[in-house]
A and B are shown apart, each in its own frame.
Chain A
Amino acid sequence: MQTEIAHPLDVYLRETGIHNIWCTGCGNGILLNSFATALKELDFDLDKIVVVSGIGCIGRIAGYINADSFHTTHGRPIPFATGVKLANPELKVVVISGDGDLFAIGGNHFIHAARRNVDIKVICANNFNYGMTGGQQGPTTPLNVSTVTTPYGNIEHPFNLVHLAAGSGAVYVARWTTLHVRRLTESIKKALQKQGFSFIEVIAQCPEIYGKSTKMGNAIDFMNWFKKASEVQTFSDPAKAEVTRERIPVGEFVDIEKPTYEKLLREKIVQVENRTRGGT
Chain B
Amino acid sequence: MGTQLLETKKLWRKPLDTEKIKLPEAEICIIKDRCKGCGYCIQFCPREVLEESKEINARGVHPPRVKDSSKCALCGFCTAICPDFAIFVAEKTSEKKEAEKDEHRE
Contacts and interface: CB of A to CB of B under 8 A. Distances in A.
Are A and B direct contacts in the complex by CB distance below 8 Å? yes
B39 A219 contact: yes
Interface of B: 29, 31, 33-34, 36-40, 43-44, 61, 77, 80-86, 88, 90
Interface stretch (A4-12, A144-152, A252-260): A4-12
A4 B80 contact: no
Given A29-B82, A223-B40, 8 more contacts: A4-B34, A5-B31, A7-B34, A8-B88, A13-B85, A20-B84, A33-B85, A223-B43
A27 interface: yes
Contact of A181 (B61, B80, B88): B80
B80 A182 contact: yes
Contact of B31 (A7, A22, A23, A181): A7
A132 interface: no
Contacts of B38: 24-25, 219-220
A51 to B, nearest CB: 17
A53 interface: no
A25 B43 contact: no
A223 B44 contact: yes
A220 B90 CA distance: 25
Contacts of B77: 181
Nearest to B35: A24
Contacts of B84: 18, 20, 29
Contacts of A23: 36
B34 to A, nearest CB: 6
Sort chain A's interface into a size bin: 20 to 34
A28 B88 CA distance: 18
A219 B42 CA distance: 12
Contacts of A182: 80
B93 to A, nearest CB: 14
A185 to B, nearest CB: 7
Chain A, interface SS category: helix
A132 B84 CA distance: 19
A22 B80 contact: no
A4 B34 CA distance: 9
A34 interface: yes
A219 B40 contact: yes
B51 to A, nearest CB: 14
A102 interface: no
A33 B39 CA distance: 16
Contacts of A223: 40, 43-44
A29 B43 contact: no
Nearest to A36: B85
B16 to A, nearest CB: 32
Contacts of B29: 5, 7
A28 B83 contact: yes
A111 B44 CA distance: 37
A32 interface: yes
A73 to B, nearest CB: 26
A26 interface: yes
Nearest to A34: B80
Ranked nearest first, the 6 interchain pairs of A and B with the lowest CB-CB distance are A29-B83, A25-B38, A181-B80, A24-B36, A7-B85, A30-B83
